[in-house]
Amino acid sequence: MSWTKDQPIVSIKNVHKSFGSLEVLKGVSLDVMKGEVICIIGPSGSGKSTLIRCINALNDIQDGSITVEGQEVHDPNLDQLELRKKVGMVFQQYNLFPHKTALQNIMMAPVLVLKQDKAEVEARARVLIKKVRLEGKEDSYPGELSGGQQQRVAIARSLAMNPDVMLFDEVTAALDPETVKEVLVTIKELAAEGMTCVLVTHEMGFAREVADHIYFTDRGVIVEHGPPATFFDDAKDPRTVEFLGQIL
């Protein structure tokens, strides 16, 4: 792999994806540069979540190509572990392991998957807990934490693998309005540190604030994209205008 940092870290080219006879992605292309934050927005059912799930091979694709650091994701001979070391993912429903404490949730993958030293991982996990502002919750089980707290544990759990790219799939959609902010603050800090982030979100204000680039998808295609200022204030496509009119 001859990937260099001036090339896109994630490159999606003409991706087609169907569930049975239903075509969800109809030729989607986009590039993400290292350190960039991109937001994918659009009406529900437009294929945004499917698209980012394809990036770490949770969904397969029928046609096109997705590369992460030059590595083809949908190569049948792909080393899935190599890919998943590079790409972290946070889900709408947090998906923490309910039988493990917050600290154990964060530590498990580095210890089991990366075979790293337990003491060293624990030290790192405690730093991450602090980073997501959950000091004192190390030994709490997910069931004892609020949605916002669980989501921050999930973010820390992904970060513990030291990924190069983070995928966020509507991570605030299941949260109470008052806890949305604490999660967004965490993501904003990550973005400010230079983490490459791909977010699917409904938080337009947040997208406008943190994103370097916005993509608007509808019915399986990217209708319009651009930097937040142009995108939000100067949308061209009637579908974008209609969507923004409905939610802003």
Partner 1 sequence: MLESFQEFFRTVADNHPTWNFIFFYDERQFGKVVSGLWMTIWLSVACVIFSVIIGVVGAAMQGAQSKIVRGIVSGYIQFFRNTPPFVQLLFFYFALGRFTPTYSPDGWLEIPIISNVGWAMISLSFFAGAFNVEIFRAGIESVPKSTQEAASALGYTRLQIYRYIVFPLALRVSIPSLNNNLVNLVKTTTQAFVIAVPELLYESITIWNDFPSAQNPMMVVLFVSYLALVGVVVLGMNKWEREMRVPGYGG
Question: Which of 71/93 has CB closer to partner 1?
Answer: 93
Within positions 154 to 193, which residues make up the interface with partner 1, using CB under 8 A?
Answer: 154, 157-158, 161
Could you tell me how far CA 18 lies from the centroid of its own chain? 21
Q: Which residues, other chains included, contact 118 with Cβ-Cβ below 8 Å and sequence gap of 6+? A: 107, 111
Interaction between residue 17 and partner 1 (CB under 8 A):
no
Q: Which two tokens stand for residue 171?
A: 């991570």
Q: Which of 85, 131, 188, 225 binds partner 1 (CB under 8 A)?
A: 85
Angle between helical axes of 102-112 and 147-159 (0-180°, round to 10):
20
State the Cα–Cα distance between residues 89 and 165, nearest whole angstrom: 9
Interaction between residue 142 and partner 1 (CB under 8 A):
yes
In degrees and rounded to multiples of 5, residue 98 shows phi and psi of -65, -20
Q: Which of 29, 70, 75, 81 binds partner 1 (CB under 8 A)?
A: 81
Q: Which of 7, 43, 141, 173 binds partner 1 (CB under 8 A)?
A: 141
Q: Cβ 218 to partner 1, closest distance in Å?
A: 26
Question: Which of 38/87 has CB closer to partner 1?
Answer: 87
Q: What is the dihedral of CA 183, 151, 104, 161, to 10 degrees?
A: -70
Could you tell me how far CA 235 lies from the centroid of its own chain? 25
Provide the binding-site residues for partner 1, judged by CB under 8 A.
Answer: 56, 58, 80-81, 84-85, 87-89, 91, 93, 95-99, 108-109, 112-114, 140-144, 154, 157-158, 161
